[in-house]
Structure formats: structure tokens, C-alpha cells
Amino acid sequence: MGNDFIERADKGTSVALLIIDVINKLDFPEADLLKRYTQPMAENIASLKKRAKEHHIPVIYVNDNYGMWRSDLNQLIEKTKESPGKDLVEALMPQEDDYFVVKPKHSGFFSTPLASLLKYLEVNTLILTGVAGNICVLFTANDAYMRDYNIYVPSDCSASNEQEDNEYALRLMENIMEANTEEESKLDLVEIINNAVKERVKTAYEG
């Protein structure tokens, strides 16, 4: 039965992994504070992304456009090549089959096609990662919660300028938005997929 659910998730895709604002030059005034935490975060996100790919979970990069309205993914990456954020970008470089959504503000949902993309992919469960945990990840989680998505925010897959701020944001997401904040290595992706597909099938049946 479990394998059947995974196959259906591959066709209907009930889970998506969002990687938020990691295509980042890290050249803002307090970037050195954030950079202290980006290497271990990037390693954990990379591990999670690898596992997600193995289970056919689509990966969606949701990234600020930094005011460059005519830019695309390749131009954004090009801008980071000689920047303090180069190592972060190289560790989490988007792949050809990944999706990419440009956002103008903090939330991945605000004035973006993310909701339409998730509907097309039949997603009801989101795994949120990236920076900053207490800003863009938090705002995206809030909007996802208001749209009735199931939310996972692995505690070691986000970073903020201060660890205390990141931990506080995680508590908010867990206590207010009902997010699961277990560490990346503890996430059972097969179970997450199975639960998401069951919910999708149940919703379709009831509808």
C-alpha cells in the first residue's frame, strides 16, 4: 500500500519542498551575522533536497528578486558569483528540473504564482527551508497556514541573524501554525507523502 501512495504522489505530487532566498549575495549590512549559520543550514537543506528528489517531491526555489525586475534565475545566480553569498549558492545550486518563483516581498505567496503552481502540482503539504527563518520563512509559513497547507519547517534547515530569533520563529510556527519542526534527519518523507496523498484522495472523494 505504501508504494502505491508514493507512485500516486509522483503523479499528483502532494508534497513540495520550498527553498527560500538562498540565491543570495549576502551583502546586506548584517549579513555577517547570518553567514555564521548558513553553512550547516545549507548542508542540511542539500541532504533534504537529495532525499526529496529520491521520492519525487518537487523542489521549488522561492527567491527575492532584489529589485531586479527583468532578471531571471541565471541572472540572479550570476550576480552572486563574486559575492559573500557565493558558497551558499554553490551548495544549493538549482537543478534543471527544479521550479523557480521570484517574489517581491517577504512571503513566497505575495504577488507570485506560487499558489497556482502548488494547485497545478496538487500539493497540500509544504516543507519550508531557507533564510531568514524569522522573516521570509516565517511570513511564507503564515500565508501557507492561512491557505490550509500542512507545514513542515525542519529546525536545522533555516537560519536567521541571531539563533535566538530563529528559535523564536520556529516556536511561533510550531505553536501557532501547527508546523512540524523536527530536524531534517528525523523527517520520514515516505510517511509525509503517504499522509498527504491520503488527504488528497479523501478531499477529492468528499468533494
What are the sequence ranges of the domains in the chain? 2-202
pLDDT interval class at 59 (50, 70, 90): very high
Task: Tell me, letter by letter, the H, E, C secondary structure of 91-114.
Answer: HCCCCCCCEEEEECCCCCCCCCCH
pLDDT of residue 4: 45
Residue 198 CB neighbour total at 10 angstroms? 13
- pTM of the predicted model over 0.85: yes
The architecture (CATH level 2) of 2-202 comes to: 3-Layer(aba) Sandwich (3.40)
Beta strands 158-159 and 150-152, pairing class: unpaired
pLDDT of residue 202: 83
Nearest to 59 by CA among 73, 44, 51, 49: 49
